Every structure is written in C-alpha cells, then in structure tokens.
A and B are shown apart, each in its own frame.
Chain A
C-alpha cells in the first residue's frame, strides 16, 4: 500500500468515527450575554448549564446520547441574539435553544426560533408576553406577576401593613415590570400608597427620595430595584433614621447574597419572593450549591439555579423523544414532550409547565435573618 492510500484510508476512518460520535451528540444552543454589562447575569446562567450537562454526561448521557452545548455570546443586544439564533437553527442545526438573557432580546429573537419551529427555552426572561410569541417558546423563570402578589399579601397579613411607599427604577424593564406588578398587588390588597418615587440604574444617592418617604411614615417600603441599588437604598434609609420595624419588600432583585454583603445589618428583615434561595435545605439544592461552589468557586445565584433546573427539565423531555433523524420532526416532538413536563423536582422545588408554557411553580416568601434568606412563609 502506498503512503497516499494509507492517508486516504486513515482519513476516511477518522471522518467515519467523527461522524458516528457526532451523530450520538444532542446539540443544544445556548445564547447568553457573556460580555458587556449584562454578562453578570449571563455568565452564571452559562455556568448553570455547563454544570448540569457535565453531570448528565458523566452519568452516561440521555439514553446513551451525550449532550453537547454550543455556547454563543449575544452581548445582551437584540441583533446579536437574532444572529446567534439563526446560526443555531440553520447552521449548527441544534435540537433546541436556551436563552437569550434579557426579555428585550427574547422579544426580538424568540419569533425567529418559533418561525423555525425550534424550541426556545428562556431561563431568565420574566417580562409579560414572552411565551405568547408562539408555541415553541418556553420558560422556567417565574414571572414576577406570579410571586410578588403573594409577597405583598403575606407581608400585609403577618406585619399588619396599612400604608406603603413605593420606590422603583424606571429605566430598566426588569424593575419597571416589577413595579407594575407591585402596584396592582397593592391595589388588590387595598393598601394606601403614600408615595411613589423613582430612580435610575447606577444612582448612588437616594437621600432625597428617602427623606420624603420618611416624612410620610409608611408601614413598609416596597422597592423594585436591582440588587446594587436595593442594597444602597436600604443602607441609606437606615442611616437616615427609618427604623428596622419598617420592612423593605422587594422582588427578584433582592434575592442575591450581595444584598447582605453590601447593606450588612441594615438588610435584616428585608422581604422578597423567589422560587429558589441559596440556603434552601432541600437535598437537590444542597448538592447543586456544593458542586457549583467547587467548580466555579463562587455562590450560585437564582439565574444559575434556574438554568441548572432548565437543563434537567429539557433532559426529561429529550428522554421521551423518539429520534427519527429528521431534525424538523425531532424538534417538533421535543416541543410536544416539553409541554407535557409535570411535577419535575429540581433545586427550586416542584415545577410544571402550565398551558401557556410558563412556569407553574410556587414561589416562597423569604426574609433576611442573620445575613441569610430564610423562609418567611411557604
């Protein structure tokens, strides 16, 4: 045999093994913001996915098939998100897509996936109307509209609140939609709103708003803010003499270990609602937090936890798909199986999709005690 023949045969074998091993891979696209200002949300999400995939693959994959994540950066920009989605659907031929990080990008990119009949699974999109885009759009991020009303009603019952002041960031879709939900909840509970104050992302001085609120003597302060602003607001409120008996009530933005890190003792008694919290003692969560800390040497946040759960939910559905080799059919049968997921138990507790492919998950009301979130009410 001549050398050239050998090379030919060897390369054929190589291509053959490569294609065989490729065929056994289930490709899933992950489009998250990994650079830029949104990366602080996107990176933990990516970490959650990679951790779950490593565990699944180490345990032998799904029915023997390994999961392969194709991770792309969408920078938190809508055009980038559309480009990445199209690359996933038409070039990489993925089975399904996770992402994008922001609701804004999801409004732009999810219609592409829906038209391409490919499942898109959001783990951090909380805005209203995301899943209304189409039947291929799913999410396991609990919309604030589902959790915050419970937070308000339980706080009212337990603390005897009659009048509240509201503060919110009006230049961010996340905090603005949180405010909208709070406003409705407060109306539904017949609470009197003594003041509504706004601020912007990146503000560091809130004394004007707080001084005004202090003069009006509310029983509690509702605060729809991202964690940096929330912590600063609480800190400054306590410094300006608002007593600890006046609780702060917040949304998802409160739900980070940074709140106590920045605000320290001032954060004690802050109330929020979330399906997941770091110190939850359920077994799955304990092992998730341990593995995450070991691999990334930092604490997971809610976004990482939701991503981790999402991948296991997807794996549940993939397990039931009968692969035909026709990508379009497989994508559709994955959609059908995903819609049937019920009573999945993950790090955030029991989870089901409702008929709108939104998360049906009981949020828990939490309170900061000794610098940690504990359950205020189940």
Chain B
C-alpha cells in the first residue's frame, strides 16, 4: 500500500506562516473548532434573544406593541431552527467534534484538513444566509421550525416570499458543510488512531460524536431532498407537497401533491437529528462524570453498545412525531413500539451514569455540577417522552405546552447543560487559562434551577390543554385565568435564565484576559488531550512523537497506585505504585 501511516503524518501537515492562514483560513482542527464554536454560540445568543421576545408576548399579552402575530411566528420558527441545527448540531459536531477527535485519538489533525476548513466556511455561509432572512422584505419564515407545507410557502404565512427560500437554501448549504466535516470525522476516527488506540479504548466522547456523525450522514440527505423539493414547489410551481388548494379565495395551480410526504421526509431527518445532538452529549457527559467522580465509567462496553443501538433505532421511530398527521393510524402501533424500545438503551445509560457516581470520590467542580444537572433534566425529559411515545397519551397532549416542556427538557436544556459542562471542562485546555469558579457556580445554579422554574409549570399548562404556538390565548373557557399568571411567572424565570447566560460569556472573556494560567491537566484526567506537550496544544498537537496508548481512558482510583489517575499514554512499567502495593496490573480490558 502506498498510503502514509498515521505515525509519519507530520510531514503532511501544512504549517501556516501568516496570521491569516493561522487564525482565519486555518486548517488546524483546533482553530476550526473554536471558529465553529464561536459562530454557533453567537447564533445561539440570537435564538436566546428571540425566545425572550416570545416569552414577553406570552407572559404579558397586549403589552408589547412591537410584537405582532407575524413577528411572534417568525421568532418561534427562527428560535427553533437556530437552536436545533445551527447551535446544537454545529457546536457538538463542528465544535467539540473538531476539537476532541484528533486530540483524543492521538492524531495530528483531521485526515483532510483542507476539507475541514471548507466545512467551517460553508457553515458560516449558511449562517449568513439564515441571518440575511431577517432583513429581506417579509422577514424570515414564520412556518414553525418544522416548515410544514403547504402553509410554509403559501401567502398568509409570514416570510412566505423570501424568508422560506432563504431558510431552505441555508439548510442545504449547512448540509453540504456538515457532509464535508462529517466525512472527515468518521474517516479520522476509523483510520487515524494512534498506536494502541483500539476502537474499544476510545473515550466515550469520541464514540458519541462518531456515531452521531454517521447518523448525520444518513439523515441529512432526507432534509436535503425535501429542501430541494420544497424550493421547487415555491419557486417554479411544482406540486410535490401541494394538493389542490383554494387560498384566499382563489384556486391555486397545484394538484395531487402529498403534504404528509414532507412530514415523513422531515422527520426521517428530524428524529435522528435528536440523537445527532444527544449522542455527543451522552459521550461528553460520560467523560466529565467519570473524571470528576474519580471512578471509571460504569459499564464501558454497555455504554458503547447503547450508543450504537440508540443510533440504529433512531432511524425507525420517526413517525412518532406524526401521530396526529393523518398518516395511516396503524403505523402508530409500530412506531410506538420502536419508540418505547429505544428507552431501554437510554435507560441503561442513565443507570450507568448514576452507578459511576456511586461511591465515587466526587469533586463538585463547575463541569461536574453541570453534568449532574444533566442527569436530572435528562431523566425528567426522558420520562415525559415515554408518555408522548404512546399514541393514546400523545393524542390529547399533542400541540400543547406539555410537548414544549418535554422537548425543551430532553433536547434543549439537557444538551445545553452538557455543552456547558464540556465548555467548562475543556476551557483550560482550549485557552490555557482557568475560568472563574464562583461565576461558574452562580451560572450553574441560576441555569439549573431557572430551567425548572420555566419548564415544570409548562407541563401543567399542557395538562390544562393550553395549545402551543399561539400568539395569544384570547378568551377560552377551558383555560383558567390562573394559566395567565403562570405564564407571567414562566416569562420572569426565562428572562432571568437568559440574562444569567451573560455571566458565562463574561466569564469566558474575563478569563481569557485575566484568568490564572491553567495547569496542563487541571482535572487530573486520563485521556490523551490532557497529555499534550504544550498547553494549549499547538499545530500538530504532539510535538516530535505521537503518544502511544496502553489502556482505556477511565483508569481512575486504581488500588495501590500513587496517583488516583493513570493517563492512557503511561506505559504499565512507568506507573508509580505505593510502597508494598506490588506491581501495577492493567485490568482495563476486563471491563
């Protein structure tokens, strides 16, 4: 074979010389990761601001004259789409995927750095196109983040002229960007691991990101195709998703299309998308929990297989989003069944996280607080998911605030808590500086308790039957007046939590400038990224020689060892033991 083995990759890397090739058009995976992360956090703040505007309208209707119904729907749509795709997907895979994969597997960079760079610039382009839709006539689309046709492209829906087109184009560009990055991540994990790093020694972060990327490569095509088809429906008058329609008193020139087809395509992407976000979160949180509990992750193999099985099952549950869509009702049997099965590997993961904490030597650091917070919110959101997975329970709860509360708990708050855990955990590695712990703890408690103040009451509103996506409730008999008081309280909590996120932004900026210099391995972690010769790691990551891996990434609190952690790259004969403890025996392969 003529290909170059990974150990000799150094001469393949292009060393940058100018400021621009080092920090702007950079091919270094760490710079690309930070670029991805910064843009994602920026659009995330835009989406957070939109949610605050939505909450103002819901909490105090008739008070804010600058929010009219069309604006409200545009806020809902853009908030949802930005959070799910442009923040969570981009930050987990483009951000943490880029940063952690090469460092944790012991590679010098992604296998195709140039393509990786293109991936970021296409992502930025997609974000610019999306943001441009705020400034076109008619504004951004207000079709709801699911963009269901026919209403998404018909007159009467806000942004039905240009907004929807820009949204569809932006998504298509995002998918191109994701594909370029994703091919890199998968190939890198499969082919560029260092000596001794077998698949079953990979940290769970890499496993989560790896499987999520595969899901993305298989699920995004469905969104890509439906974007193309809907763009044609909108721009050249095809009828893929358009049945015969009378709109605003006139007969439209459409016939015979199938709106349910779009819903199937959208959710064939949309459900794996939930796990594209969740699996990296599962992986990252496993590493954070294990490290700060000073204990190996409980059931490593089980955790890996649970990730793989959840990934596979996620492709056959999509129609549980469509119980009320008018599809064949018998489908409900099948999809409720598969949905409940997917709860089994997910529950295994939750048990294993709890068992990892069990009798651990827990250090309540800021990342650990966020990771433990995640277990609470994820359990909470997961249990309401079991309610909604059953057709008979779902029917009355569909399109109420119960659904809003469920998916915000499970897919909004939980991954975001993991993102914070991971950002705080890896911040010292990324920047070489330590963040302010007090501010971090304030940020945690405000966010964790605040989200409960927001979403617990929403479950109750859902049971009352308060419908979601309504600009104002108006006078309805079945909704008591107290619901409005509750809505106002939710709004206060939401604004509070939103403002408290600025503490995090401030903490990052302040620490970058004034933070204490961080130890290369401040958490005393075992995985490879903490063993780099430079802190933060430089281009090429490993200096002269690549690290060699001798064991898994979870060798914490080994009986008899002097330190309570043994890095992956320390040879067995170099492990320092306490006197009289005998020789170190590597038992990691037995787990």
Answer whether A and B are interacting partners. no
